Structure 1
């Protein structure tokens, strides 16, 4: 986990950290269980990058930027404590990812439906229910 966090802080991109691991996992050099802690660390590392950037803010809205950065940091820390540190829950994301990958490899349309649902429909529903729009 520390390696993923360190690489992400240095490169300032969890996408780079994760993208470098994908070919290794895809060829079988690394297992999903080996990639998992590095990805968790990279997600935590990206929160530190955001906090560093928020400290650069000045003016009346700088406090809002810091609040958003700390919400991001605390959210990721709680997720790590709740899921990764808890032995009973630690395998759940791996099992979900493995099952989704297996199904998506057999039926490509499932991936499109999953992405549209998780990244478009659900956020839109939350926004509508929150009355923001």
Structure 2
């Protein structure tokens, strides 16, 4: 496991890690988000950020290609954390409305509810799905 860390008041790159495209990577991604938020003193964004990154990793595991994903955590403003997951699929995420008896399909709705903003940026090689979380509390 290789973790790249740069602690700054704001800026790029922040914290990042390349992970296997497998469900177990969500736990590592949550730890990365919590560590970054703790380093920046943004404890109020840590748990929502951990939940959001879990959903983004789950989507990448389910829909992406190749064997790895990249998780990036940046402090884009003094009270704002951006959590992103990059993968090699060019298919953009689409929120859906699952039926009441369906177990899945609510991840992006949850991301939208917890994040101040979210989106997906297309890349030549795939995409980056990101969410911004504001410090609360």
Query: TM-score scaled to structure 2, two decimals?
Result: 0.34
Bigger share in strand: 2
Pick the structure with greater CA Rg.
Answer: 1
Q: Which has the higher contact order (CA 8 A, sep 6+)?
A: 2
Query: TM-score scaled to structure 1, two decimals?
Result: 0.35
